Structure 1
Amino acid sequence: MTYEIPVIDFLAQYTSGPDSKSVAGYKAVWARYAEHGRSAFTTELLHEVDKNDAIYEFIKGRLRVFCYFTGDGGVVLTNGTLKQGNKVDSAAVAQAIRAKNSEAAMLAKLIAAKAEATNLGRKAK
């Protein structure tokens, strides 16, 4: 079984060439996040791009990586884009929202399945 990981696929496109240093720099960015959380970042490095769905972007050079935060302080990296102009790439933001909504739906199904299995176990006793 293979899995698509959009952020990895995105960054892999830029491992050589003018944006390769930005790709390498993301390792330090995410290590910093893992150690210190969001408070370690200014809005120049991490900021909200969609208030309704709480989608954020990490910024490193021309590369943008979209994400959202979990309730327990975790971060889910969804996809990336190459900055082309002054505005945020609305298609990339929409992709991040779809990823977030897809995960939320999957988690809801898992929770419902677990609750059903627990209830079936109680009825069998």
Structure 2
Amino acid sequence: MHSIFSDGELLPSEIARRASVLNHKAIAITDHVDASNIDCIKKIRGVIQDIKENWDIEVIQGAEITHAPAEIIGKLAVKARKLDAEIIVVHGETLVEPVIEGTNLSAVHQEI
């Protein structure tokens, strides 16, 4: 899910509370990141740790690398991992979204 740190509408804690009320056992927050905002992972880390310690829901921290040049996807993934992202996905090519050609191929060849 995405929070207000990218194109979502809720704080991470609001997402977790709503998911908990719906009896979800776990969720992942994977906001859009690129070279301009990848440090937002640090901002989210603290609230996720608080939720893990005090609430009855597991929140997994992640990142969705989005609209980054294919050549730097690996570099961004390594940085996201160092910032404690447990799940790293890449916003790939679709029929309706103008993502750089080669994004999907670059994503599947990363070895982190």
**TM, length-normalised to structure 2:** 0.27
Indicate the structure (1 or 2) with the bigger Cα radius of gyration: 1
Decide which structure has greater strand share: 1
The TM-score with structure 1 as length reference comes to 0.26
Query: Which has the larger helix fraction?
Result: 1
